[in-house]
Amino acid sequence: MKQPLHPLLIAFAVVVFFFLVAPLVIILGAAVSDTTFLTFPPRGISGRWFVKVFEMAAFRRTIVTSLQIAFLATGLALLIGLPAAYALNRFRIQLPHWLSTVFVLPILVPEIVLGFSLLKSVQVAADLPVFSTLIIGHTLIVLPYAVRVISASLSAFDFSMEEAAVSLGSPPLKTFFTIVLPNVRSAVIAAFILAFITSINDVSVSLFLTGPGVSTLPIQILAHVEQFFDPVIASVSVLLMLLTVGVMAVVELTLGLTFLAK
């Protein structure tokens, strides 16, 4: 027989739930308001501010740019992070212990410092284009997520299965893709989701690396807030939330969220 939950525990859970949901409800209410300024509760219901987002060329351009940078940076982070995580776990005895710390430095270093350093050393000194610098910067800030998430999965992997396959004549590269990778597929997908969401919402690094003609959606939001106080910002925030929900929905429909918990 299950023991009933204490009323105080239920009340605490309800308070935490409303604490997490309330900001989302306020943003959604402000986004559908029929007024020309941000307000909550909404005075009338209208979807014109969502239409306004896509009518503004600056937002259309930065949405596409942010998606491009997020996909490219996440892909590069996985291409670097997957073999790095594999090496750190497969050869953990041979490799120095401090090496794993190198891959989490972008998280330990404040993003403002990282952004300024990239501005000086990559964009100015190396004279790289703004778009390329943004990809490098975003790859650095999402790389720790790829390495840590995949490493957590590989730490529980039995590498004797890989050794058995190699001893039976399977090439090492084929063994990696047929034995190792399928066992950490859920970690790779989880790392992709975390890295993608982190990249598309980044402000601190992008603030230093954007330039004329190239900007990201969060930076465009900041620029819009400096000049206007209309519900367009709330509408963009709702669209970003829907994008996150959409990514999770695709994972749920294709793999199931329980798959990521394996």
**Is the four-CA dihedral 132, 193, 64, 210 of positive or negative sign?**
negative
| 111-118 helix and 130-154 helix, angle to the nearest 10 degrees | 130
Q: What is the pTM of this model?
A: 0.81
pLDDT of residue 176: 83
Compute the distance between CA of residue 160 and CA of residue 163 in angstroms, rounded to an integer. Answer: 5
Compute the distance between CA of residue 51 and CA of residue 89 in angstroms, rounded to an integer. Answer: 49
Question: How far is CA 107 from each of CA 66, 85, 113, 191, rounded to the nearest angstrom?
Answer: 21, 17, 11, 15
The position carrying tokens 């969220």 is: 257
User: Which residues in the chain come in under a pLDDT of 50?
Assistant: none
pLDDT of residue 158: 78
Give the tens place of pLDDT for each residue, 135-178.
998 999 999 988 888 888 888 877 788 788 888 888 888 888 88
Beta bridge partners of 211: 214
pLDDT of residue 152: 84
pLDDT of residue 18: 85
What phi, psi does 242 have (nearest 5°)? -65, -35
pLDDT of residue 73: 93
